[in-house]
């Protein structure tokens, strides 16, 4: 089981399932929502994720997207898209041990900041990741 939460500890969660689609996202929306040059995410089935302490705040960053965060410290925790109602994305670095879910690829490279130079060997996608 994976465990994680926010910086201040008021919101905690557990992941009961197996992560998939672990990515480093370079899209404008993730950058703006997190105030970071990119964000590492992974997905799990909605039924395999639960908040176990506290209640996160949330906001719709677009018509189809709901993002959850700690209302006290601001840590960005989850991302849900209407097109994938059975999935939830979790910010990798909100895990207690982020090394447990290393990224598998980069997404939205077409929107990456020009001063970010990605030199790892992970696959790079111009847009979102499409399952084969």
Query: Domains in the chain and their CATH numbers?
Result: 2-111 (2.170.150.70)
pLDDT over 60 at 94, yes or no: yes
CB 19 within 8 A of CB 4: no
Tokens matching residue 3: 């465990």
pLDDT digits (tens, 9 = 90+) for 61-86: 889 999 999 999 999 999 999 999 99
49 Cβ contact list (under 8 Å, min separation 6) = 13, 14, 15, 16, 17, 78, 88, 90
Question: pLDDT tens digits, residue range 22-59?
Answer: 999 999 999 999 999 999 999 999 999 999 999 999 99
Percent of the chain with pLDDT over 70: 98
What is the share, in percent, of the chain residues with pLDDT greater than 90? 95
Residue 132, pLDDT above cutoff 60? no
Integer Cα distance of 30 and 37 in angstroms: 9
Average pLDDT over the chain, rounded to whole?
95
**CB contact set of 67 (below 8 Å; sequence gap of 6+):** 33, 58, 59, 60, 61, 76, 78, 79, 80
- To which residue do tokens 């849900």 refer? 80
Pairing label, strands 12-15, 2-5: antiparallel
Output the pLDDT for position 131: 62
């Amino acid at each position: 089981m994976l465990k994680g939460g926010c910086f201040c500890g008021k919101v905690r969660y557990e992941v009961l399932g197996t992560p998939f689609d672990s990515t480093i996202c370079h899209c404008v929306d993730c950058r703006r929502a997190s105030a970071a040059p990119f964000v590492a995410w992974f997905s799990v089935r909605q039924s395999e994720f639960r908040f176990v302490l506290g209640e996160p705040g949330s906001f719709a960053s677009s018509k189809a997207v709901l993002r959850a965060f700690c209302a006290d410290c601001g840590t960005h925790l989850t991302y849900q898209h209407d097109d994938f109602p059975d999935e939830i994305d979790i910010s990798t670095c909100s895990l207690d041990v982020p090394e447990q879910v290393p990224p598998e690829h980069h997404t939205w490279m077409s929107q990456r900041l020009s001063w970010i130079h990605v030199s790892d060997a992970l696959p790079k996608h111009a847009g979102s990741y499409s399952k084969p």
